A = this chain, B = another copy of it.
Amino acid sequence: MTSNDKETLILNAALQLFSENGYEATRIPQIIKKAGISAGTIYRYFHNKEDILNKLFQRSMNKMLLSLTANYPHDKSFKDQFDFIFMHGEKIIVTNPQLIYFIAKNEFDRGLNQQSHQAFMKLFDFLRNFILKGQEAGVFRQGNPRVLSALLYGGLTFIVDFIIHHNNGALLSESDQQNIHQMYAQLRQTCWDAFTAK
């Protein structure tokens, strides 16, 4: 087991605990136990608790951004781009709902440093740019782009709430997954209608 693996072990344990209980309520001993390491070791890889939060936040942001930007269909229609964003969004969420929930819970908390905020803004700007371009092209309704991103982001987050709390963080059953997939499809259609209604 390399040192890199141990860092990942710690981050994964922290992700689960932070998303379940929040950053403040999560105790270092909990992380230690879940990661299967000892108190001293954690401080070989991270300066302190806050450092874990920030490294985890940035890793999460980069993961999401990478997933959304890799193979992004720049030259296709807005509908295709919209579907691409939703399809990959759903994949990210269903694969690891804790990630989104962790982000939503900690997004604006104290404890996030400049670098973390920049990582968030990168993702936010990506969505914002998509909306702005759609508005310029006359495909999306006019107005403050924040309203549309609020709908999209808020809708996604609230569905994650459902995923997380429906079974107390356990893995999703097949029927749950189908149910969520259906909600996701409805949300996509509803958002698209909202975006394009004139």
Q: Which residues of A contact B (CB under 8 A)?
A: 21-22, 24-25, 105, 107-110, 141, 143-144, 146-151, 153-159, 161-162, 164-165, 182-183, 186-187, 190-191, 193-194, 197
Contact = CB atoms under 8 A, between A and B. Distances in A.
Nearest to A161: B108
Contacts of A151: 151, 154-155, 187, 190-191, 194
Given A144-B183, A154-B151, A197-B194, A165 B110 contact: no
The count of identical subunits is 2
A159 B150 contact: yes
Contacts of A156: 154
Contacts of A148: 190
Nearest to A162: B146
A43 B190 CA distance: 49
